[in-house]
Amino acid sequence: WDQKFPVLLWIDALAAASGHVYGALYAFQAVAIGLSAWLISLMARRAVGAAPAVVAGLVYATLASTLSLLDTGNLTETYAAPAAILCLYAMIRHVEQGSRPGIWPLISGLGLGLAVMLRPPAALIGTALLPMALAAHHSGRMRRTAVLAWICGCLLVPLATVVWAASKGILGL
């Protein structure tokens, strides 16, 4: 269940190619933490306003930065966080816009697919979204096409990884 998919290895390879492995990993972590904090503040602002949203983003950034500094600077949880938060944010945006077609379900699915490829237990986010999706569908705010777009987005990232592994002859590994 806790196997690491190639996405983490790609991040490590990119850091190694830079020539400054630990510096690059800390920089990647900083970008992931900053992106997560920004997405958290965007999501919180919709519910509680600007000031509490900024505080929520700063609290997340502080806690995640502390955890990253205490570890080696290469946490899959931190890399997966922006994708997981994007998954939730995009689905909330889709439900808020009503039954109009849009790209939010696909973005949400891509976020979940990437989060799962970095941290497999993130698949539970899909379970957390299920009650919201069912309620939105019953209220007429979500169509079947949105659900299909979400599923396609979820499967696109693992599919790309499988195709890459098959092209390199390492799928069996």
For the cut 60, the answer to whether the pLDDT of residue 45 exceeds it is yes
pTM: 0.81
Per-residue confidence band for 54, with pLDDT thresholds at 50, 70 and 90:
very high
Cα 16 from chain centroid? 23
pLDDT tens-place string over residues 87-114:
989 888 888 877 677 788 889 889 999 8
What pLDDT, on the 0 to 100 scale, is given for residue 69?
76
Helix, coil or strand: residue 23? helix
The rounded distance, in Å, linking the Cα atoms of 155 and 99 is 23
The rounded distance, in Å, linking the Cα atoms of 48 and 56 is 10
- H-helix segments, the chain: 6-18, 21-48, 50-70, 76-96, 104-118, 124-138, 144-168
For the cut 50, the answer to whether the pLDDT of residue 1 exceeds it is no
